[in-house]
Structure 1
Amino acid sequence: MSWIKNRINIKLRRIEKTDFPKLVELFREFATFQKKPEKVTNTEEQMLQESDYVNGFVALQNDEVIGYVTCFFAYYTWIGKSLYMDDLYVKPQFRAQGVGTKLINQVIEFGKAQNCKKLHWQVSEWNQPAIDFYKSIGASVDGVESNCDLQL
């Protein structure tokens, strides 16, 4: 099955501090898509204070951020150094045009370059288009794990 309707010309680059205002806006958009808008407490100010921990890439079309992927290093006892992909989000009007594929491929290449053993992420069980997309790139979706969060 082909996921790509029409490819668009986009650029990818690492997230920069100047992207933070737009990213916070996209975080809220993504949370709304996930049916959890009330969960977003992050702000541009917080991102600036915690900028050493912000890692990922943005997709740009005509210098406008149209998508992003965030990730961080993790250590899994069973396999070792890995990369955790926290969010992969593309604005709805730019989906099925290769943007998500380019973003995830960028993270995969980044993980390989950093000698990571695996890339790990979660997907909502109701998000069948995302599940199908991830399976199409060779990911296994086991449906076994549940999220556990403890607010500090």
Structure 2
Amino acid sequence: MEISIRKVEVSDFNQINALFREFAEFENLSERMTNTVEQMMEEKEHFNCFVAETADGEIAGYVTYFFAYYTWVGKSLYMDDLYVRPDFRGQGIGSLLIHKIIAYAKATGCHRLRWQVSEWNQPAIGFYKKLGANISGVEQNCDLSFSF
């Protein structure tokens, strides 16, 4: 299967938002997914994403990210989500996406790439360990959500 990795475009927002919902369902956290296409349009200058696209224009997966500054290491890239649709898993698309984000982090002068993985997601943990990732299990999420 021919897959290309490219930056997201505004015309992809409907497909991407549907994949966000799919991912939330996969994580058993559908109730936390509140983002909309309209919100994405309003906040598009903050939205960074690479998509894995098939030859016929279908988005098979995505990786979202943002820049961060960590006091101990400096400029870093935070990978928020890496998701591959179930029908496309096992075909190397996740590898293409993570290698793209690793290369991007290096090309933009980042000292670290950081992300989270759910402790129940053993296939993802194995995948990340094969890359050489250190999965510490020391820190826990702290979220404050705001409604406008």
TM-score band w.r.t. shorter chain: over 0.9
Over the matched positions of the two proteins, sequence identity in percent amounts to 57
Q: Find the counterpart in structure 1 of residue 23 from structure 2.
A: 30
Whether 2:39 is the aligned partner of 1:43: answer no
User: Is 1:140 the equivalent of 2:134?
Assistant: yes
How far off its partner does 1:144 sit? 1.5
Could you give the per-residue CA deviations for residues 72-105 of structure 1, whole angstroms, max 9, x where no partner exists?
0000000000000000000011111100000011
Larger RCO: Structure 1 or Structure 2 (Cα < 8 Å, ≥ 6 residues apart)?
A: 1
1:142 is paired with a residue of what secondary structure?
Answer: coil
**SS of equivalent to 1:146:** coil
65, 70, 89: which is aligned to 1:76? 70
- In structure 1, the gaps of 5 or more residues are 1-7
TM-score using structure 1 length: 0.94
RMSD, matched Cα: 0.7
What's the offset of the Cα at 1:147? Answer: 0.8
Q: 1:18-76: per-residue Cα shift (whole Å, max 9, x none)?
A: 11000110000000000100101100010000000110200011210010000000000
Q: Distance in 2 between matches of 1:39 and 1:139?
A: 27
1:110-129 alignment runs, 5 A limit: 110-129=104-123
Runs of 4+ in 1 over 3 A off after TM superposition: none
